[in-house]
Amino acid sequence: MGVATLQEARTASTAERPRTGQTARLVLDGKTYELPIVVGTENEKAIDTSQLRAETGYITLDNGFGNTGACQSRITFIDGEKGILRYRGIPIEELAEKSTFTETAHLIMYGELPTKTQLERFSKRLNCSSLIHEDMLHFFTGFPKDAHPMAILTTVVASLSAFYPVPEQLDEPAEEQVIANLMSQIRTIAAFSYKKSIGEPIVYPSNKLRFVENFLTMMFSSPVKDYHLDPDIVRAVDVFFLLHADHEQNCSTSTVRLAGSSLGNIYAVVSAGICALWGKLHGGANQEVVNMLQYIRRNGCSPEEFVARAKDKKERLMGFGHRVYRTFDPRARIIKQICHKLLNKRGVSDPCFDIALKLEEIALKDDYFLSRHLYPNVDFYSGLILKAAGFPTNMFTVLFAIGRMPGWLAQWREMHHDPGFKIARPRQIYQGPTLRHYVPVSERV
């Protein structure tokens, strides 16, 4: 087997607009192949290997897909080295300051900020789609009392396909309704799941309340107790959803694209994404942060001692570092400010927040963490916000799923409207036994 060398045949200046005709030269076994260069609007460069196996007999091997582009997308841009996150070109900082989750969801889904009329229509459609079929309540009574809310969520979301059949050919009105159903009904299912876990009667959604207010009321009010909507908590949860609305080709989004590429039912496809999100290395990370902070407080361990133990690999410092960001996670800066405001309210203080601040202070002065690009990520503070808002830790990942729903649906929609759409089918490098033959059981040693 020959040795492969790869180089760009022509390199454009980063200041120049991308030029067509760029190629990368691949030399294999004495033969030279010209591979097209694809350049994104932010000057990201990729080598198009879609015809590599057909032309050379080789495939690429990229464990974890850290260097593999699975699609071309117009939705989210991330520059991990510079700490940049933009939805449809708009910086996350501007959206978090000026926008709302519902407006941002429309932006992600359809490409532009909505007009006032479009936003009112979108919001009304979400409210009108918030009820779930009454027969679905039997699902909730059938689950064990201690069932994890994520287990209920994945099951009931997949079951929506039986109650809201998706037509074989999705026209625009049908697609819009499916999107509205999933965006709105997921919070209804989430609230019903919580009520089931604490043995309280469900609270139905109201057409008079906005997206987050509606969800909080379904979660925390009851027939014998009204829920006071604190504007700071409403805003904190809204920003939490907004910051999680999309994040490029992460594990759960890639799962949605992979499952959706089979033309599977969209409710089942999203349920697959929720299952991928469930893991503690993905959507469950903020729950792990809160567990860590409570562990430090409960055991009387000082933040300095815990950091020292983490450096010695005796403990794991949760909420630091990110697969993409090599500097500060831009969402962490935003949510830290929200956290400060919320936890400085009278009667809302949390000793775990003081521990978190101390951990951050220590880590950001320590070359061990700085040299490894281990900065606080969004999960480091988001769990504290949800805890302050009254959510139990087993609901944290459920809230992540509510926030991420627009991104999953936008990615699914973009994929299905792509003229080059095809079913996803990764390759592998087989490392098992070579040819061998069946041995009858009587002859096996």
Active-site residues, by number, are 322, 379
3-state secondary structure the chain: CCCCEEEECCCCCCCCCCCCCCEEEEEECCEEEEEEEEECCCCCEEECCCCHHHHHCCCCCCHHHCCCCCCCCCCEEEECCCCEEEECCEEHHHHHHHCCHHHHHHHHHHCCCCCHHHHHHHHHHHHHCCCCCHHHHHHHHHCCCCCCHHHHHHHHHHHHHHHCCCCCCCCHHHHHHHHHHHHHHHHHHHHHHHHHHHCCCCCCCCCCCCHHHHHHHHHHCECCECCCCCHHHHHHHHHHHHHCCCCCCCHHHHHHHHHHCCCCCHHHHHHHHHHHHCCCCCCCHHHHHHHHHHHHHHCCCCHHHHHHHHHCCCCCCCCECCCCCCCCCHHHHHHHHHHHHHHCCCCCCCHHHHHHHHHHHHHCCCHHHHCCCCCECHHHHHHHHHHHCCCCHHHHHHHHHHHHHHHHHHHHHHHHCCCCCCCCCCCCCCCCCCCCCCCCHHHCC
